Amino acid sequence: MNNYFAEDRKFLIIKLLQQNNVIALAELAQKLNVSTRTIRNDIKLLNELLEDTAFIEMEQGECRFYITDHYELEEKKISLEKMQRDFDSPQKRVAYIIKTLMTNDTHYSTEELAYDMNLGRTTLSNEIKKLNKVLYNYGLSIEGTQSAGIRLKGEEFQLRLFILENIYDMLYDGCTMQEDIRDSIITLLQNYGLESTTEKNFFQYVVVSADRMQSGHSLNHMDKKFYALQQSNAWNITQTVTNKLRPLLKQDFSIEEKLFMTIPIAGMRTPTDLENVSKMELKQNIDEVIEEIIERIGYELNLYLKKDNLQQDFYYHISFMVNRLQFGYMLKNPLAEEITKKYPLAYKMAKIAAKVIEQYYDVVVPEDEVGYITAYFGVYILEYSIVQQKPYRIALICSTGRGTARLIASQLKKLLDHNAEMDLYSEKQISAELLDSYDIVFSTIKIPIETKKQIIRIKDIFDEKELLLHIQKVKYLEKVDFLGEETSGVSLIAALLEENTFFLLDEKKGYLDNTKMMIKHLTEQELVDKQFEQRILQREQNSTMVFGHNVAFPHTINEQKEGKLVLALGVCSKKLASESGEEVQLIFLLALPKEKELDDSVLVRIYDELISIAQNEEYIAEITKAENYKQLVRCFIKLGIGNLL
């Protein structure tokens, strides 16, 4: 619903807190142009109204929003809306204006309308000006003068969409015709096993169609794309329903009216029961589109999805979604913002999928729909990143005696998985063969033995947070998981960075020149191959790797270090120009091993962290202050980057 219909201050407070989670009381007051005292009073009232669905805490000048039940909160917001429905609310005023004008084909007196609504003519004029800004999005407008009167102009189809998306309940609550139609078709609709939202929306389309027909405002024409619906199974449902309604309404439905009613079924959400939905047709080239989505995600993110692992309902979801977008049928996704924040990589994948869909079908995919796609990719990542774990074997080499060794071991056990097996050795007991049999090796001394395993040097008393960074690096490079659950939030990006892969960028040069500088140093250290720069530039030419939010993520395959990741980071306190027009302060340069040699869980974690950084201005501001590698590591630890991922 447009902001105009949600301008009640309490709704705006909820919206701002849902977007930010934490916001300063003074900032909230400034945004809403009221005093902090007024905001405090509003929050006190909101906490009473929201009951057990959510609550707002005010502490030290900040407001924090806690949601206990997302779905119940959305229901509570709907009920709060209903409480506002009188002429003191924008919703009610809009509904009355539209209801009055949509049933009149001639000009209507503004003086009479102002009198009916108990408003001054100036107030009414201001209301109409604000309303026209919303109507413009539907190709509608209220035109006229105070002397000649006003009228509603625009296409009948667009007017119906405006009603359905904004003021349906206010126009038809308690309407006798609505109840008669419900009684007539409710049993019939249940036979089709439609999802409840689809059933509700279809019913509303039927009511609006019947009402407009009876008032003499039938649909006379539709865009030619809608006529293809006559070949769909959704059309058969509409035919059955209109045949049932003919005796009740005592009139026939035109083809255009039936097409209008068919839209919410053709564009429905995928129901849980796929047995019924399987009777509906998929888009003709949906296989080709899914393959292109998989290929594009592989190219842009170097993540390779298996088509066979994508569930059938994903195909139906994309197919129905395209129908919605082509036919102008908008679905609201109350959890879109929450989902996209919680699953940043899945959101990035969904944005890539959205671009493919937009190119194939010439539609615009809104954020609500991107949120639904994000949910599918989120499930995919969770389901196909699960690996059966075995107990991991850890060796601890210590030269200061059994007592000290046990003290160190007890410190390590706090950080490691409780199932991990740990053995203690002195430097005289070890051999290369012995160490190679362990998943990870800790040592308080320098070991003069060549071993295939990564050896982590530790002190007798160590800083747990800094040690976790080293452990995290070994965990991913060796593809083992021996950390306890409470320590799994350590930043992988910080763990993979080295002193020689941290760079201070030249503020006098642009994004590409600084990227070339970083690659030059990596090439000289033989960390990347000599053609690495060429591949980066080619990818950048095809599609910029500037993420936005002052972050760039150039990445490609590395032929030099097979089986190993190389990650470099360049920072600049000033904003660098890029060829795409976006500004850059952080350059995360990633050299990827060949596809078959890389565990996708590594990339998933890197992308999740990187996206969480790009979405957080505080993170970027702090990271760009780092002047050396040690400051950077401490910055990651201080900010807790990697936590909650």
Predicted confidence (pLDDT) per residue in 444-470, tens digit = 788 878 777 777 877 655 555 556 656
Instruction: Identify whether 55 is part of a domain.
Output: yes
Instruction: Identify whether 587 is part of a domain.
Output: yes
Instruction: Identify whether 489 is part of a domain.
Output: no
Residue 432's CATH number: 3.40.50
Claim to verify: residue 111 and residue 166 sit in the same structural domain: no
- The chain-wide mean pLDDT, for the chain, equals 81
Which residue segment(s) compose the domain that 41 sits in?
Answer: 3-83
DSSP notation for 12-57: HHHHHHHHHSEEEHHHHHHHHTS-HHHHHHHHHHHHHHHTTSEEEE
Range among 158-162, 338-342, 635-639 rated most confident: 158-162
The yes-or-no verdict on residue 540 having pLDDT over 60 is yes
- Cβ count near 480 (within 10 Å): 18
* C-alpha–C-alpha distance, residues 127 and 111, integer Å: 14
Claim to verify: residue 617 and residue 500 sit in the same structural domain: yes
The pairing of strands 550-552 and 583-592 is parallel
Residue 335's CATH number: 1.10.1790.10
Helix, strand, coil % in the chain, rounded to nearest 5: 55, 15, 30
- Cβ count near 504 (within 10 Å): 13
Residue 308 CB burial class (10 angstroms; 0-12, 13-18, ≥19): exposed
Claim to verify: residue 77 and residue 108 sit in the same structural domain: no
Instruction: Identify whether 267 is part of a domain.
Output: yes
Claim to verify: residue 148 and residue 267 sit in the same structural domain: no
Claim to verify: residue 269 and residue 171 sit in the same structural domain: yes
Q: What is the pLDDT of residue 419?
A: 63
Claim to verify: residue 268 and residue 294 sit in the same structural domain: no
Q: Which DSSP letter does residue 483 get?
A: B
216-269 pLDDT, tens per residue?
A: 999 988 888 889 888 888 898 899 999 999 888 888 899 999 999 999 888 877
Claim to verify: residue 526 and residue 542 sit in the same structural domain: yes
DSSP notation for 242-281: HHHHHHHHTSPPPHHHHHHHHHHHHTPPPPS-HHHHTTSP
Q: Which residues contact 547 (CB under 8 A, 6 or more apart)?
A: 553, 610, 611, 614
Claim to verify: residue 133 and residue 176 sit in the same structural domain: no
Enumerate helices (H) and strands (E) in the chain, giving the number of each. 28, 16
Quote the Cα angle for 522-528-533, to 5°: 85
Claim to verify: residue 471 and residue 577 sit in the same structural domain: no
Instruction: Identify whether 124 is part of a domain.
Output: yes
Instruction: Identify whether 298 is part of a domain.
Output: yes
pTM score above 0.85: no
What confidence tier does 599 reach under pLDDT thresholds 50, 70, 90?
A: low
Task: Provide the number of structural domains found in the chain.
Answer: 6
Residue 74's CATH number: 1.10.10.10
Q: What's the chain's Rg over C-alpha atoms?
A: 31
Domain termination residue (choose one: 83, 105, 124): 83
Instruction: Identify whether 488 is part of a domain.
Output: no
Residue 118 CB burial class (10 angstroms; 0-12, 13-18, ≥19): exposed
Instruction: Identify whether 201 is part of a domain.
Output: yes
Q: What are the Cα distances from residue 139, in Å, to 136, 158, 162, 592, 599?
A: 5, 7, 10, 49, 51
Domain termination residue (choose one: 131, 154, 177): 154
Domain termination residue (choose one: 423, 455, 483): 483
